Structures are given as C-alpha cells and as structure tokens.
Amino acid sequence: MSYVHPGGEYSRDSRYLTTRITADGRDGFPVEPGRYRLVVSRACPWASRAVIVRRLLGLEKALPMAVAGPTHDERSWTFDLDPGGRDPVLGIARLQEAYFAREPGYDRGITVPAIVDVPTGKVVTNDFPQITIDMSLEWTPYHRDGAPELYPPALRSEIDAVNEVVYKDVNNGVYRAGFAGSQESYREAYGRLFARLDWLSERLERSRYLVGEAVTEADVRLFTTLVRFDAVYHGHFKCNRQKLTEMPVLWAYARDLFQTPGFGDTVDFDHIKRHYYLVHEDINPTGIVPVGPDLSGWLEPHGRAALGGHPFGEGSPPQPVSREEAVPAHHTPLAP
C-alpha cells in the first residue's frame, strides 16, 4: 500500500459520508441509545477524538464501541482483536463490509471512526469532525451527570477558528510532512507545523486550555496529535526539529491532559506504534517497530493547575474506565 506519491504533495481524501445522527432524525437516523455502533481503532488520531469525547460525556452505554485492530491493508480495518476475528455485534470481519452495505462499490477511504446502524449493518457516517460535535449537541439526553460542555455556545466561534488552523498545520500537517513526495513539499509542511506549534506554545503559556477555562473540543483535537508526536511523528514522519518532550509548554500541557480522566486512559501506545510502522510500508519497509520511547514521563507533575481553570468546568470527572474498554496494562504508563 503506497502513501507517498513521488514529486507530489500529500492531499487527504476528505470525501466522507456526511449523514448525521441527530435528535430530530432529519437525515433519517434519530439518536437512539443502543441502535448504533461506534467503530474505532485506538491507533488512529481521528478515531481517538471520538473515543475521548464519548468517554468524557459518558456515552458508553448509549453508543457502544467496537475496537478494530491496529493494522489494516488496502481493503480495510479488521476486527482481529475479537474472538473469531469478527465483531460480536455486527458479525463482520472487516469494516469494509459495513461500507459496502451502505454503498455497493464504495470507492473512498474505509476510515475510522465510523458509526454503523446495527439493524441494517450500514455505515451512517465517517465524518469525524462532525461526529464529536454531534456527540456534544445531539446526544445530550444521554450524557452522564457532570458531563463537561465541550462545545459551549459562547466559545464556538473561537473553538472553530482554533480547530481550523490546528487541523491544517498540525493534525493534518504531520501527515503532509510524513507523506510528502518531494523535498519542497516536505519543507513547506515542516515549516508550517513548527510555526503553528510555536504559536500554540505562546497561547498555552498563559492559559491552561486552548479556549476558555475548561477542556473543550479544541483540546481533544490537539491532544490526539501531541500524544503521538514522539512515538511516531518525530521520527517516522520526519517532524524532527524538536520532540514534544523538548517543547516545555506543550509537553506540560499534553501531560496535564494525559493525566485527566478520559484522555490518557484511552491511549494505547502499542497500537499507535504498530499501526504507523507496520502499515506505512513505503516509509518503513523493514516493518521494524521501535521499542521506545520511554513513557514514564507522561506521569510526571505538569504544574499547569497554577494557571487556573478546571478540566471539567462545573462538571466532574468520568467514572473509571470499564474493564471491557480498558487499555491493556502493558500498552500504557497508567497501569498500576
């Protein structure tokens, strides 16, 4: 499977299924607890957003989750973590089957996160930016007591503005560097990435969170890139001006979020490394997965509470992650 096109600039295929699951069901898919299945991989930063938001809001029972394995081929993500290699609810071995059920001959990316309508077995949406917003705005009757307001009305315009530049230069920027097909396109992506990380460092030097005094959608979106930075992007994607651990403000900010319930307890570093280093064969043809980096630093004190604010605003932390959804102990530094 080739991700790099020699001589060209990386361009993400953003042709998503944009059907929405809403409270009023205007697209034909009303919010109903237990009806849908959120399919994710813990390796994928886009899917990890949905995993975090679902947990912060307490939607585990209302929106059950299927976890695909960390690797895939050109056909799609597989359910190789499940007994018999099939998702126990959908009964499929490959996520591709749910896409083809929705649209025979589907010729776009078989991506995660995807939400599948269980009765029909069809993918409803894989529009990852909208999925997490709708979790906040459309699934509110099923939020847990004390759920944070991740997309508050008064801050939405600022959150949207921050998300736009972070997506272009950081979330997708690391891919533009890693999958660059020419020295020129790599240099341009590299420059934009680190210029934006410097901008973020300046912003976060004075504020505990990106927008407002509590965690918002903006923090979730930045975190899923930062938590992968040293393990993958610094070396594998050649984003090597500095490691995250060498950027003091962003490193403290990332540790603060990692140690916040709902963030670090969803992160599987083993899946992250195996995905990038095994799937991207044109970048890493040997298939060797690095042993490092040392993860113990994620648990070091961050000192960010001195900046004020509270991670959950007027809310409270989620309950401990269930045994069924816990990250394996040897895949995380959070293991007791």
Task: Give the active site residue among 175, 186, 233, 276.
Answer: 175
Nearest to 280 by CA among 179, 193, 188: 179
The residue type of 46 is: W
Q: What is the dihedral of CA 334, 291, 303, 229, to 10 degrees?
A: -110
Q: Rg of the Cα trace of the chain?
A: 19
Cα(269)–Cα(282) distance, integer angstroms:
22
Token pair of 109, please? 């990316």
Beta bridge pairs of residue 122: 117
Active-site residue, from 10, 36, 44, 277: 44
Does residue 44 have an active-site annotation? yes
Q: Which residue has the tokens 């069809």?
A: 122
3-state DSSP call for residue 80?
coil
Closest CA to 328 of 56, 72, 42, 37: 42
Which H or E run contains 219?
helix 217-226
DSSP per position, 232-283: IITTTT---S--GGGSHHHHHHHHHHHTSTTSGGG--HHHHHHHHHHH-TTT
Longest dimension (CA), the chain: 54
Q: Which residues pair with 205 in a beta bridge?
A: none
Is there a contact between 20 and 29 (Cβ–Cβ < 8 Å)? Answer: yes
Q: Whose structure tokens read 């995905």? A: 275
Q: Give the active site residues.
A: 44, 175
